[in-house]
Amino acid sequence: MNRYIKLPDAVFNYNLNATELMVYTALQKHANIFGRCIVKHSTIAQLIGATAGTVSRATKALKNKGLIFIHTCRNRKTGEQIANGYTLESFTGGYTKLPVNIHAYKLPKSVFKVYTYLLKCRCNKSLEAVPSLSQMVSALHMSKRTVIDAVTYLQQHLYLSKERYDRKTDNRIGHNRHVVFTPALRAIMLRLVIAAKKAQKKIRATLSQKVTRVAKNYFTKFSYSIAYPTKTVNRLHHKMGFYLLI
């Protein structure tokens, strides 16, 4: 099995929409070292969260743009079509290593496209990607609002960290700096966030119990001082504890 999905950098020059890019990366995931694969539309559809019809239209678009070649695979005995075979166009130059389970993230289509582009721009050592907003809009053929919303989504779901400005030496405002996390680093951060939330819940529960206990003690002493009946004290305990736990 491939350790990563190889996405040629030249693919971004073909003006693919988000669905076509997702289908192309799915084909790359199934392709062998010669760029060939045999896979059903339903298999790709299940992988990227789309319908078989959407996959069929996307593969035709990829074929028309010269990125893939399609040939029919049939049963030798019955002659029935069992799947489509694909040969991906080979490219020279650089390529981007996408996480092999990137489709399991279930990213929205526009977010997926922005995420792959940031991975393309990322430095392997510092994990930083510094494309400007106008550069991303031009390369991805998307609106500024869509790109901004996609980056915000990635930041909220711990796929990256963004520093608002990167100051240049002459004190002018530079590009945004995105630190795009590796899958291993993101997994660690998710564990830390989950642990922090659990600890916070325990602290809140403990604090609520202490406040309730203090309030009960106070009302107990107060009720004894003015000779409240026992039933009234218990009713006060119940009400006070209920409101504090809310």
d(CA 221, CA 217): 6
Work out the percent of the chain whose per-residue pLDDT is above 90: 49
Please state the rounded mean pLDDT for residues 169-185.
74
- Under 8 Å CB-to-CB from 144, ≥6 apart: which residues? 133, 137
37, 61, 94 - which closes a domain = 94
Residue 244: band (very low, low, confident or very high) from pLDDT cuts 50, 70, 90 = very low
d(CA 136, CA 140): 6
The answer to whether position 140 is within a domain reads yes
Return the amino acid letter for 241.
Answer: G
Whether 3 and 87 share a structural domain: yes
The length of the chain, given as a count of residues: 246
DSSP-derived pairing of the beta strands 128-129 and 95-99: unpaired
Nearest-10 crossing angle of helices 41-48, 52-64? 100
The DSSP symbol for 110 reads H
The answer to whether position 86 is within a domain reads yes
Model-level pTM?
Answer: 0.75
d(CA 97, CA 154): 18
Over the stretch 9-31, which tens digit does the pLDDT of each residue have? 999 999 999 999 999 999 999 99
pLDDT at 121: 93
The answer to whether position 211 is within a domain reads yes
Whether 90 and 1 share a structural domain: yes
Domain count, the chain: 3
Whether 3 and 49 share a structural domain: yes
Whether 21 and 44 share a structural domain: yes
94, 128, 146 - which closes a domain = 94
Find the helix or strand (DSSP H, E) in which 81 lies: strand 81-88
Mean pLDDT, the chain, as a whole number?
Answer: 82
Over the stretch 213-242, which tens digit does the pLDDT of each residue have? 655 555 455 444 444 445 444 554 454 444
CATH code, domain carrying 174: 1.10.10.10
pLDDT at 212: 56
Q: What is the domain extent for residue 71?
A: 1-94
The answer to whether position 193 is within a domain reads yes
Please state the rounded mean pLDDT for residues 142-157.
94
Please state the rounded mean pLDDT for residues 74-102.
85
Whether 54 and 84 share a structural domain: yes
